[in-house]
């Protein structure tokens, strides 16, 4: 067994508030952890996005920032890294993933068009809606079986995709695939499924784009779980994955281990030109895309670090450590664990709380109360939607996500998280649900105010 392939050089102190103080803070935050101040959190598992610790090499790169307006050295370094790793003909930096999504969708979607995906994440779905489109999910059947031990539950349901495309392809501007599948338990997608989904898109003459946020973790899972890939490096697997696609959106805040940054890449010259014009309008010139030269340099260096096999082993190992500890304690953990987060199925944990009273959010709040841990709801606050008759459609899974920042916490922190869950289990029957008192729309989870149901 191997420990982390790095050691700690700089530390950031944490404070632990008393239970009474935490009780007050969560009430003042209207039971929405996005409103809690960072200094009032002990262990922050809200997101793995932009929360990673950069390496000495990345920090050294920050000092080499070339802040020329156009075509700075750092852009050229990033270009080399992107060409080597992703292999698309054209790319542009963006300030983060959702900016890449908006630039792409505003260039390609017309009102009423439908974008299929294995599962859109919240910002992807919201950017499609904001540009007049419809976001549709085609998860594989196994995606809704949270405890079934299968290797690639992030896969696209390719039969359903093909059936949909044969009837509706005229309304589809592109097909997308999210790796790993963040909305669906952080589960990986197999190469076979990526190849097949790309083939279907191409059969109908549509471009196939990968939402590549966690492409390195996905590549590592392919290496471990897909026959024929054991002896390939994560970089080789990633290259093959991208070879089936026509482009990608990428939030570098995940697998490039930077605090800010993103990429939009594609093979089509005409699409690139359209997107470049939108980028200049919305983000900045096409060689900096809303970032400083120093950010581009950190991204160029982080891209390689995120693909390092020893790092990926320790990263996925830490997630598995937390997931196994919780499972042993009797917590209903989505299984097998994904790469960046542990997901808990809260309907099974709190059967007394109806889905309309947000059981996953109830766990989020209990974790803060119990130990100052911040997690996030990926359930009905985020995804429940009314149809045109006002009937609410709830997501199949009601998840609480514990997202692990990269290279930030030790397994002792993970032990604290496991202990907090054990304490919550002791009083689980007494826990009640919540109602929304303010906030609506597809982004309501960020801003809603909640109150306990009496």
Dist. CA 267–CA 242, nearest whole Å: 11
How many CA atoms lie less than 13 Å away from 88 in the CB half-sphere? 27
Contact 107, 276 (CB under 8 A): no
Contacts of 388 (CB under 8 A, 6+ apart): none
Tell me whether residue 50 or residue 332 sits nearer to ligand PLP (CB atom).
50
Dist. CA 186–CA 181, nearest whole Å: 5
Q: In whole angstroms, how close is the CB of 124 to ligand PLP at the nearest point?
A: 5
Instruction: Give bridge partners of residue 209 from the DSSP assignment.
Output: 176, 247
Q: In whole angstroms, how close is the CB of 197 to ligand PLP at the nearest point?
A: 16
Tell me whether residue 213 or residue 322 sits nearer to ligand PLP (CB atom).
213
Q: In whole angstroms, how close is the CB of 213 to ligand PLP at the nearest point?
A: 4
Tell me whether residue 350 or residue 383 sits nearer to ligand PLP (CB atom).
383
Q: In whole angstroms, how close is the CB of 162 to ligand PLP at the nearest point?
A: 23
Q: In whole angstroms, how close is the CB of 106 to ligand PLP at the nearest point?
A: 15
Tell me whether residue 262 or residue 289 sits nearer to ligand PLP (CB atom).
262
Q: 3-state secondary structure string, 332-389? A: CECCCCCCCEEEEEHHHHCCCCCHHHCHHHHHHHHHHHHHCEECEEECHHHHCEECCC
**Residue in this structure with the two tokens 């940054």, named with its chain if needed:** 261
Q: In whole angstroms, how close is the CB of 222 to ligand PLP at the nearest point?
A: 17
Contact 257, 52 (CB under 8 A): yes
Dist. CA 82–CA 295, nearest whole Å: 15
Dist. CA 363–CA 445, nearest whole Å: 15
Dist. CA 211–CA 176, nearest whole Å: 7
Please measure the distance between the N-terminal and C-terminal CA atoms of the chain and give it in whole angstroms.
49
- Beta strands 175-178 and 208-211 are parallel
Q: In whole angstroms, how close is the CB of 202 to ligand PLP at the nearest point?
A: 23
Tell me whether residue 49 or residue 319 sits nearer to ligand PLP (CB atom).
49
Tell me whether residue 25 or residue 315 sits nearer to ligand PLP (CB atom).
315
> Which residues of the shown chain bind ligand PLP in the complex (CB under 6 A)?
49, 96-98, 121, 123-124, 178, 182, 211, 213, 251, 253, 262
How many CA atoms lie less than 13 Å away from 185 in the CB half-sphere? 34
Tell me whether residue 55 or residue 182 sits nearer to ligand PLP (CB atom).
182
Q: In whole angstroms, how close is the CB of 252 to ligand PLP at the nearest point?
A: 8
Tell me whether residue 97 or residue 336 sits nearer to ligand PLP (CB atom).
97
Spatial CA neighbour of 162 closest among 203, 109, 190: 203
Tell me whether residue 47 or residue 420 sits nearer to ligand PLP (CB atom).
47
Q: In whole angstroms, how close is the CB of 429 to ligand PLP at the nearest point?
A: 34
Q: What is the DSSP string of 234-258?
A: HHHHHHHHHHT-SEEEEETTTTT--
Dist. CA 448–CA 431, nearest whole Å: 20
Q: In whole angstroms, how close is the CB of 260 to ligand PLP at the nearest point?
A: 8
Nearest residue to ligand PLP on Cβ basis: 97
Q: In whole angstroms, how close is the CB of 182 to ligand PLP at the nearest point?
A: 4
E strands within 15-146? 43-44, 90-94, 114-117, 134-137
Tell me whether residue 77 or residue 178 sits nearer to ligand PLP (CB atom).
178
Tell me whether residue 251 or residue 286 sits nearer to ligand PLP (CB atom).
251
Q: Which two tokens stand for residue 193?
A: 């499924």
């Amino acid at each position: 067994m191997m420990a982390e392939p790095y050691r700690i050089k700089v530390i950031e102190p944490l404070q632990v508030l008393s239970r009474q103080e935490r009780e007050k803070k969560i009430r003042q935050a209207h039971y929405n952890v996005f409103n809690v101040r960072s200094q009032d959190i002990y262990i922050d598992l809200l997101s793995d996005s932009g929360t990673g610790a950069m390496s000495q090499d990345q920090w050294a790169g920050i000092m080499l920032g070339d802040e020329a307006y156009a075509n700075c050295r750092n852009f050229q370094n990033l270009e080399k890294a992107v060409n080597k790793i992703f292999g698309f003909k054209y790319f542009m930096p963006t300030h983060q993933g959702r900016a890449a999504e908006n630039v792409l969708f505003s260039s390609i979607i017309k009102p009423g068009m439908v974008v299929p995906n294995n599962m859109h994440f919240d910002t992807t779905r919201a950017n499609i809606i904001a540009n007049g489109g419809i976001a549709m999910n085609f998860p594989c059947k196994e995606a809704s079986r949270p405890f079934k031990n299968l290797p690639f539950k992030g896969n696209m349901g390719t039969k359903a995709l093909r059936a949909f495309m044969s009837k509706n392809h005229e309304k589809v501007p592109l097909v997308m695939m999210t790796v790993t599948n963040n909305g669906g338990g952080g589960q990986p997608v197999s190469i076979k499924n990526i190849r097949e989904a790309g083939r279907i898109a191409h059969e109908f003459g549509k471009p196939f784009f990968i939402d590549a946020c966690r492409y390195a973790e996905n590549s590592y899972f392919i290496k471990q779980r897909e026959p024929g890939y054991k002896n390939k490096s994560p970089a080789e697997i990633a290259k093959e994955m991208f070879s089936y696609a026509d482009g990608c959106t990428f939030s570098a805040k995940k697998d490039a281990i930077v605090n800010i940054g993103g990429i939009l890449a594609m093979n089509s010259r005409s699409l690139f030109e359209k997107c470049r014009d939108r980028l200049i309008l919305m983000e900045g010139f096409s060689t900096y895309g809303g970032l400083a030269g120093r950010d581009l340099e950190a991204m160029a260096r982080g891209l390689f670090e995120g693909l390092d096999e020893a790092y990926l082993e320790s990263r996925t190992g830490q997630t598995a450590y937390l997931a196994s500890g919780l499972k042993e304690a009797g917590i209903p953990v989505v299984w097998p664990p994904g790469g960046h987060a542990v997901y808990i199925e809260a309907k099974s944990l709190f059967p007394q709380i109806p889905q309309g009273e947000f059981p996953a959010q109830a766990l989020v709040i209990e974790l803060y109360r119990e130990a100052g841990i911040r997690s996030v709801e990926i359930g009905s606050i985020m995804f429940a939607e009314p149809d045109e008759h006002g009937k609410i459609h709830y997501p199949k899974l009601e998840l609480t996500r514990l997202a692990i920042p990269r290279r930030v916490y030790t397994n002792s922190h993970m032990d604290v998280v496991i202990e907090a869950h054990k304490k919550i289990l002791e009083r689980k029957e007494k826990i009640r649900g919540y109602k929304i008192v303010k906030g609506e729309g597809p982004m309501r989870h960020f801003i809603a105010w909640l109150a306990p149901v009496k």
